[in-house]
Copies of this chain bind each other. A is one copy, B any other.
């Protein structure tokens, strides 16, 4: 089972951490050997959009690690103080500088291996012009046959794009997709 075990010291008092199974629990937790506080580690949400302009999709080429130089949908870690939709919109603004209208929550994908859930909203671009931020080398529109499938940054980006093109061909709308990704 995936375990983060990223604590060596207690964030509360600075004491040494030991990973122990608490009395009323069934898995090891970061437990302070000094003050006894238990610190939990849980999956994180990555939130983003699938932005569409007519029959093209927007991808961003990453200017940062991981996967520097690879293409991604605009997405990043959800922050405290925002909803999933607000986070998805913020990332689209930060990474692509795009103007868009947000639609429905389209993909919820578990990436258990890295302790993440990726959530993508569909979006319609209001303009084909972009103003990418420092995390993006280039923001560009792609027809389906132009998508750089071998140069995509993340499996969830590939899976989300594939479902979108399939749904578009089928012509019966864009229902929620849930999936588990290796």
Q: Are A81 and B45 in contact (CB under 8 A)?
A: no
Contact A79/B27 with A84-B110, A110-B84 known, Cβ cut-off 8 Å = yes
Quickly give the copy total for this chain: 2
Q: Give the shortest distance, in Å, between A130 (CB) and chain B (any CB).
A: 20
Tell me the smallest distance from the CB of A123 to a CB of chain B, in Å: 14
- Size of the A side of the interface (Cβ < 8 Å), in residues, is 48
Chain A interface, DSSP helix/strand/loop, else mixed: loop
In the complex, the 10 A-B pairs of residues with the closest C-beta atoms, listed nearest first: A9-B14, A1-B81, A83-B110, A14-B14, A7-B11, A2-B81, A176-B176, A80-B115, A2-B80, A42-B44
A interface residues, Cβ below 8 angstroms from B: 1-4, 6-17, 24, 27, 30, 39-45, 77-85, 104-105, 108, 110, 112, 115, 117, 119, 134, 175-176, 178, 180
